[in-house]
Chain A
Amino acid sequence: MIYRFMEGLGQYFLFLGEVFHKPEHWREYSKSFFREIELLGFSSIGLVAFISVFMGAVLTIQTAINLGDPFVPDSYIAIAVREGIILEFAPTIVSLILAGKVGSNIASTLGTMRVTEQMDALRVMGINPASYLVLPKLFACLLFNPILIVFSMALGLIGGYYAGDFLGLVNTEIYIMGYFDDFDPFFVVYSLIKTFVFAFIIGTVSSFFGYNVEGGAVEVGKASTKSVVTMSFSIILFNYILTNLLLQ
């Protein structure tokens, strides 16, 4: 098992070597990049917005119920919700969801291109398929995922505020003040660093599995599932490593 893991890791780094070839036709890559931004980025806004609003709302309700003590000011609930959303829920949970949505899309798209010989067609034309197909997707993830996460943080906080107000769980004036109390901007930086690493994992791991599919439609499905599982493991593992490195 360790041998297989090391072999897979080696293949992954060889694949990265192929991907990071200097593009010779920037214009074609940039066209592809904008297509990917639309396909992988903009199409995820609705999902991220929906999840973030309700995530913030649930977090506020749970925190308010658990801290339901007249001696605990509502601003403490807001602080707990804020830290929860900025430090963990927005970067990690949303990245896990993006790994499922965007990652499986990338793996199945590339896998299908592999089994239908579209990659061979590119190679025959003299185009490096790894670089041409993967780099735009990777850069789209690296650029757009942090934007989505900041968007998710904002919507999570707004969702939390409205849930508290709507259900009458908090005094809204004190609650909103709590959002700004003792705020450490480094927490946002920490979240963005995590998001950047997670975006790299999503972009490259899903591409690796899709790019190396052999067989037919069944193998494409299997590769897509494997990529989501591997991405989820990697995100959780790197979440731990980065938290240890950056917050201690």
Chain B
Amino acid sequence: MIRIEGLQKSFGEQHVLRGIDVDFYEGQCNLIIGLSGSGKTVFLKSILGLHSVDGGSISFDGRILGEMSKKEVKSLRQEMGMVFQGSALFNSLSIEENVRLPLDFFSNMTPEEKAERVRFCLQRVRIEEESFGKTPAELSGGMQKRVAIARAIVLNPKYLFCDEPNSGLDPETAIVIDQLIHEITHEFGMTTIINTHDMNSVLEIGDHVILMEQGKKAWEGRMDEVLSSDDSSVVDYVFRSNLFKKLRTALHKS
């Protein structure tokens, strides 16, 4: 479990995170939703330790990030996997090398064991063996995202972070990526945190949903509560589009 207490972060005069308290549970897809500029990405990067925080605490199964030594943080990082918005695959390396990189750095596996693990992870995200030698530039956006997921899970992490995993993907590929993350989370019992704008993701895989508004947690609940909630923040965010307004009206009628 990841526990966040009173998290604050400012950039100069601009207060981006204004005291957030939230728990992210194991074996669940924890979705963070909110408008652009609500602080979702800064929040995620602060949990990852990519931004230093101004106040509050972040604890990973009782281990408080701010109180850990550099060595402990380094070892914690090996329990984390991250899928970036733009995939962030290394262009100079092949798909196979991209996925193997964390193993080369942090495992004592033999080359054969590494190859086997890489093959397992890539096949788990449904990448064909003939694509293993290709470079990221030769893959479609959806395939790049799948390779990024394979790289994120190669060290068998306890915590998986995804920043807008569906951005730039067509609806069909977006559903495939959502389902893949959902399956992997449940299969490996990971604590998964996903930043998203995509309401479809919320309704498909949102085991636990947090709505952020102006650097604060505005609402939290389950995916089935999102459509039925009367909370003004949720209503404002979810029912902005005509499609969802009609859906809400239909739901109320039924």
Contact = CB atoms under 8 A, between A and B. Distances in A.
A25 B74 CA distance: 14
Contacts of A125: 77-78, 101-102, 105-106
Given A25-B104, A28-B104, A28-B105, A124 B86 contact: no
A173 to B, nearest CB: 51
Interface residues of B, number: 24
B80 interface: yes
B88 A126 contact: no
B50 A124 contact: yes
Interface in A12-39: 25, 27-28, 35
Interface string B78-111: 1011101110111110000000011011100000
A127 B74 CA distance: 8
A222 B84 CA distance: 25
A117 B85 contact: yes
B104 A120 contact: no
Contacts of B81: 124
A125 B107 CA distance: 12
B137 to A, nearest CB: 12
Nearest to A112: B91
A113 B77 CA distance: 20
B48 interface: yes
Contact of B88 (A28, A35, A118, A127): A118
Most buried by A among B45, B77, B88, B91: B88
A126 B77 CA distance: 5
Contacts of B91: 118
Interface residues of A, number: 15
Contact of A121 (B74, B82, B105, B106): B82
A171 interface: no
Interface of A is mostly: helix
Contacts of B161: 124
B84 A117 contact: yes
A116 interface: yes
B88 A121 contact: yes
B90 A118 contact: yes
B88 A117 contact: yes
Most buried by B among A117, A118, A121: A121
A106 to B, nearest CB: 13
A148 B160 CA distance: 46
Given A126-B77, A126-B78, A116 B88 contact: yes
B35 to A, nearest CB: 21
Contact of B84 (A25, A27, A28, A120): A120
A124 B82 contact: yes
Interface string A98-133: 000000000000000100111011011111000000
Interface string B190-220: 0000000000000000000000000000000
A43 to B, nearest CB: 14
B74 A126 contact: yes
Contact of B86 (A25, A28, A117, A127): A117
Contacts of B80: 124
28 contacts: A25-B104, A27-B104, A113-B90, A116-B86, A116-B88, A117-B84, A117-B86, A117-B88, A118-B90, A120-B45, A120-B50, A120-B84, A121-B82, A121-B84, A121-B90, A123-B50, A124-B50, A124-B77, A125-B77, A125-B78, A125-B105, A125-B106, A126-B75, A126-B77, A126-B78, A126-B105, A126-B106, A127-B105
Q: Closest 9 CB pairs between A and B?
A: A126-B77, A121-B88, A117-B88, A124-B82, A117-B84, A126-B74, A118-B88, A125-B102, A116-B86
